[in-house]
Structure formats: C-alpha cells, structure tokens
A = this chain, B = another copy of it.
C-alpha cells in the first residue's frame, strides 16, 4: 500500500526494523540478512514481504537468490506526516505554554 499507516506498522516491530536497517546499509539476499538476526530465514522472508508491501524495500531476482534493497521513497509519507505534525505540535505546545504559563510542573511521570 505504501501509505504512512502501513509504513508505521511495518517499522513498529523491532526485528522487522532491524531487517529494514540491515537492507538500508546495503542490498543483500535473504540468507545474509537472516544470518545477522536471531530469527529463522522464513521469518526474515515474511518481514521482507511486509516491508515490501509497505513500499519500504524493493527486490529483484539474481539467479536463485533474491536481492533486497531499500526504497527511500517509502519513508516519504511518514516523514511528511511527522514534519507537518512537528510544526503543528510545536505551535500547540507554545500556545499552551502561553495560556497556562505557570502550571507546567504538576505533570506526573513514571
């Protein structure tokens, strides 16, 4: 689908994000990717499928092997959403600071 929702869902899982980062460093076949991770090769294959459907990676055949590489355009929607959100959030935060301006200390953290 390659929208922001699927990208966010794909990158939420730590293992899958590790796969993504590995592929981002340099294109590699599935076996090589799986070798650096604590999961089986089919698991990596499934993760790559999700990443591919999210528009985050591209694949092409190389003999019996299948090379995966990153598709940086897949990060576009997510980055755009975050950027638009960044300004909006800062505006709201600043406005809220002006409005209250004094009760900024009574928020309880864990």
- A residues contacting B by CB (< 8 A) are 5, 8-9, 11-12, 14, 17, 21, 24-27, 52-53, 58-61, 69-72, 75, 78-79, 82, 85-86, 88-90, 92-93, 96, 103, 106-108, 110
Contact = CB atoms under 8 A, between A and B. Distances in A.
A27 B96 contact: yes
B82 A75 contact: yes
B93 A72 contact: yes
Contacts of A53: 110
A46 to B, nearest CB: 15
Query: How many chain copies does the complex carry?
Result: 2
A93 B69 CA distance: 8
A12 B5 CA distance: 7
